[in-house]
Amino acid sequence: MKRILAISFLIVYINSNTEFHEMMRIPVLIEHYTEHKKNNNDISFWEFLVMHYKTNVNHDAHDKELPFKDPAHSFTSPTLALPIHKIVLKETEFVSEVSHDSTYSETFIASHLSDIFQPPRFS
81 alpha-carbon distance from chain centroid: 15
The pLDDT value given to residue 18:
66
- Tens of pLDDT, residue by residue over 1-26, are 889 999 888 888 777 766 777 777 88
In the three-class reduction of DSSP (H, G, I as helix; E, B as strand; rest coil), residue 68 is classed as coil
Q: At what angle do helices 45-53 and 26-39 cross, to 10 degrees?
A: 110
The pLDDT value given to residue 1:
87
Confidence tier at 75 by pLDDT (50, 70, 90):
low
The pLDDT value given to residue 28:
85
The answer to whether 22 and 68 are in contact (CB under 8 A) is yes
- Tens of pLDDT, residue by residue over 26-40, are 888 888 888 888 888
